[in-house]
A and B are shown apart, each in its own frame.
Chain A
Amino acid sequence: DGGITQSPKYLFRKEGQNVTLSCEQNLNHDAMYWYRQDPGQGLRLIYYSQIVNDFQKGDIAEGYSVSREKKESFPLTVTSAQKNPTAFYLCASSPSTGGYQPQHFGDGTRLSIL
Chain B
Amino acid sequence: QKEVEQDPGPLSVPEGAIVSLNCTYSNSAFQYFMWYRQYSRKGPELLMYTYSSGNKEDGRFTAQVDKSSKYISLFIRDSQPSDSATYLCAMGEDTGRRALTFGSGTRLQVQP
Q: List residues of A whose CB falls within 8 A of some B CB.
A: 4, 6, 33, 35, 40-43, 45, 48, 50, 56, 58, 90, 92, 97-108, 110
Contacts and interface: CB of A to CB of B under 8 A. Distances in A.
A99 B43 contact: no
Contacts of A48: 99
Given A99-B31, A99-B94, A42 B43 contact: no
Interface in B65-106: 88, 90-100, 102-105
Categorize the interface residue count of chain B: 20 to 34
B94 A40 contact: no
Interface string B40-63: 011111100101000000000000
17 contacts: A6-B43, A35-B102, A42-B102, A43-B88, A90-B43, A97-B97, A98-B92, A99-B32, A99-B91, A99-B96, A100-B31, A100-B32, A102-B34, A102-B46, A102-B100, A105-B44, A107-B42
A99 B41 contact: no
Nearest to A107: B43
A7 B31 CA distance: 34
A32 to B, nearest CB: 11
Nearest 9 Cβ contacts at the A-B interface: A99-B92, A105-B43, A42-B104, A99-B93, A43-B102, A97-B97, A42-B102, A107-B43, A100-B32
B25 interface: no
B58 to A, nearest CB: 14
Contacts of A58: 99
